[in-house]
């Protein structure tokens, strides 16, 4: 049975449990890894549940970040960018739309706690989608929620691979490097050149809860 991921389930529920593929390919930010195939191999097992919020190391709470120089969320991180182009198992965007269903981008400057965001706003599948943009400075509690989600990220451990979910990525920047991580939901795709992590949905959920739309 094909797993539709969190957006797929939303669409299935909205359509009364009946839906057909609209041919929307998963898309990712430009990198050197190539383009995702439209339909993963049907022989691949269903994907596991990737959600989770991880835990916080209380001994590192004063620094705001954790993981050391070589970790996913290193102590010298300067910025984190969580991004998805949206799409997946969803209807095509209505004419006049400014974005894709589910499209989001969150850029958090760690030293200043300033968050810049873009988020696709939908009021119905027949109404053009609008791309909301904004900037806000996070409170200590808001930053702590992102910090907790980032600390919950872990190297992918499974072998399952899913379909029909938008591709989620996180980029962690330090003064000397930038590392791109992919959602382990699609870990069967080019694993030799991409770094996959579990619990990436928790980071997007944290940002979604924080963003203030006018």
Residue extents of the structural domains in the chain: 5-210
Tally of CB atoms within 10 A around 186: 25
pLDDT at site 103:
95
Residue 161: pLDDT band by 50, 70, 90 thresholds?
Answer: confident
Q: Residue 131 has what pLDDT?
A: 94
Q: Structure tokens of 18?
A: 């009946």
The first and second tokens of residue 11, run together, are: 């669409």
pLDDT above 90 for 137: yes
Tokens found for residue 83: 């991004």
pLDDT given at position 46: 39
Q: pLDDT tens digits for 78-88?
A: 999 999 999 88
| Strand-pair category, 195-198 with 178-183 | parallel
Cβ contacts of residue 163 below 8 Å, gap of 6+?
A: 2, 3, 4, 39, 40, 47, 89
What's the whole-number mean pLDDT along residues 137-155? Answer: 96
For the chain, give the mean pLDDT. Answer: 75
Task: For residue 59, count other CB atoms closer than 10 A to its CB.
Answer: 8
pLDDT of residue 109: 98
Residue 123 has pLDDT above 90, yes or no: no
Instruction: Say whether pLDDT at 61 is over 60.
Output: no
pLDDT exceeds 80 at position 122: yes
Per-residue pLDDT at 66 exceeds 50: no
- Cβ atoms of 73 and 67 within 8 Å: the answer is yes
Both tokens of residue 42?
């049907």
Model pLDDT, residue 23: 35
């Amino acid at each position: 049975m094909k797993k539709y991921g969190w957006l797929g389930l939303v669409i299935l529920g909205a359509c009364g449990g009946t839906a057909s593929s609209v041919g929307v390919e998963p898309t990712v930010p430009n990198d050197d890894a190539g383009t995702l195939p439209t339909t993963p191999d049907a022989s691949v097992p269903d994907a596991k549940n990737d959600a989770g919020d991880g835990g916080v190391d209380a001994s590192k709470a004063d620094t705001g970040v954790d993981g050391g120089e070589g970790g996913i969320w290193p102590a010298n991180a300067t910025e984190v960018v969580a991004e998805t182009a949206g799409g997946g198992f969803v209807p095509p965007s209505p004419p006049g739309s400014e974005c894709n269903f589910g499209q989001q981008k969150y850029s958090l400057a760690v030293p200043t706690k300033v968050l810049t965001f873009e988020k696709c706003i939908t009021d119905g599948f027949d109404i053009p989608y609008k791309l909301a943009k904004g900037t806000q400075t996070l409170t200590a509690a808001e930053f702590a929620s992102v910090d907790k989600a980032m600390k919950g990220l872990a190297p992918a451990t499974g072998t399952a691979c899913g379909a029909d979910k938008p591709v989620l990525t996180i980029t962690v920047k330090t003064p000397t490097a930038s590392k791109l991580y992919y959602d382990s939901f699609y870990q069967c795709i080019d694993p030799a050149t991409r770094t996959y992590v579990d619990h990436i949905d928790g980071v997007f959920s944290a940002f979604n809860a924080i963003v203030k739309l006018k």
